[in-house]
Structure 1
Amino acid sequence: MHDLLRFDGKTIVLTGAASGIGAATLELLSSTHADVHAVDLAPIPPGAHTTYQADLGDPGAVTDLTEALPARVDALLNCAGLPNGGRFTPAQVMAVNWFGLRMLTENLLPKMPEGSAVVHVASTAGRNWQMHQTELDELLDIESFDETMAWLAANETLVGDGYTLSKEAVCYYTLRKSGASLAYGVRMNSICPGVTNTPIADDFVAGVGADVIERSIESAGRIAQPHEMAPALLFLADELSSSYISGVNLTIDRGVKAARITGRS
Structure 2
Amino acid sequence: MDLKKLFGYEGKTVVVSGAYSGMGLAAARLLQELGANVYTICRRNGRHSKLDFPVAGELYADFGVKADLDALADALPETIDAMFLCHGIALKADASNALEVQKVNFLSHKYLLEKTLPKIAENGSVNIIASTGGFGWQDAFADCAAVVNAPSYEAALDWYAAHPDVIQNGYVFSKQCLCTYVKMKVHAPEYIDRKIRLNAINPGNTITGLTDEFNRNTSPNGDAAEGKAVIEAIFLDSWNGRWATAEEMGYPLVAIGSQIFSYMSGQIIYFDYGMSSVWETDALDAAPN
TM tier, smaller: over 0.9
Q: What is the CA–CA distance in structure 2 between the aligned matches of 1:25 and 1:203, rounded to whole Å? A: 22
| Cα distance change of structure 1 residues 163 and 213 upon mapping to structure 2, 3 Å threshold | farther
- Quote how far apart the aligned CAs of 1:244 are: 0.9
For the 8 Å contact 1:114–1:185, the answer to whether it is kept is: yes
Q: Give, in whole Å, the separation in 2 of the partners of 1:41 and 1:26.
A: 15
1: CA distance between counterparts of 2:36 and 2:123? 15
Matched residues in 2 for 1:90 and 1:194: separation? 21
Choose 115-124 or 213-222, whichever is displaced more. Answer: 213-222
Structure-to-structure mapping, 1:138-217, within 5 angstroms? 138-180=146-188, 181-208=191-218, 210=227, 211-217=230-236
- AA partner of residue 194 (structure 1): G
Structure 1 window deviating more from structure 2 (196-205 vs 114-123): it is: 196-205
Question: 1:68 aligns to what?
Answer: 75
Deviation at 1:208, TM superposition (A): 4.5
What is the aligned length? 263
For 1:262 and 1:12, locate their aligned partners in 2 and report how far apart those are by CA, in whole Å: 38
CA deviation string 1:112-152 (max 9, x = no partner):
12210000000001011111111112111113222212211
Distance in 2 (CA, whole Å) between partners of 1:234 and 1:220 is 28
Between the aligned residues of both structures, percent identity stands at 29
Q: Distance in 1 between matches of 2:68 and 2:74?
A: 10
* In structure 2, C-alpha distance between the alignment counterparts of 1:263 and 1:167, rounded to whole Å: 22
Please point out which of 145, 150, 170 is paired with 1:137.
145
Partner SS, residue 113 of structure 1: strand
Aligned to 2:193, the other structure's residue is in SS state helix
Distance change >3 Å, CA 150–CA 234, structure 1 → 2:
same
Deviations 1:83-114 (A, max 9, x none): 11348611111111111111112222111122
> Which residue, out of 214, 220, 241, partners 1:221?
241
TM-score when normalising by structure 2: 0.86
Letter of the 2:31 counterpart: L
Q: Max radius of gyration: which structure? A: 2
Query: 1:76 touches 1:105 (CA, 8 Å); kept in 2?
Result: no
Change (3 A) 1:88 1:183: farther
Letter in 1 for 2:207: N
Q: Which moved more, 1:134-143 or 1:245-254?
A: 134-143
Match in the other structure for 2:20: 18
- Is it true that 1:48 corresponds to 2:54 in the alignment? yes
SS in 2 for 1:188: strand
1:160, CA displacement in angstroms? 1.2
Q: Could you tell me which residue of structure 1 aligns to residue 112 of structure 2? A: 104
Shift of residue 207, structure 1, vs aligned partner = 4.4
Once the two structures are TM-superposed, the CA of residue 6 in structure 1 deviates from its matched residue by 4.8
User: Structure 2: which 5+ residue stretches go unaligned?
Assistant: 220-226, 284-289
Name the residue aligned to 2:224. Answer: none
Q: CA deviation at 1:153?
A: 1.5
Aligned counterpart, 2:86: 79
Q: Within 2, Cα distance between the matches of 1:144 and 1:220?
A: 45
SS at match of 1:184: coil
Name the SS for the 2:80 alignment partner.
Answer: coil
* Inter-partner Cα distance in structure 2 for 1:40 and 1:172: 25
Residues 44-97 of structure 1: CA deviation (Å, up to 9, x unaligned)? 334311111111111111111111111100000000001113486111111111
Aligned equivalent of 1:5:
7
Distance (Å, rounded) in 1 between the aligned partners of 2:267 and 2:149: 21
CA shift at 1:5, angstroms? 2.6
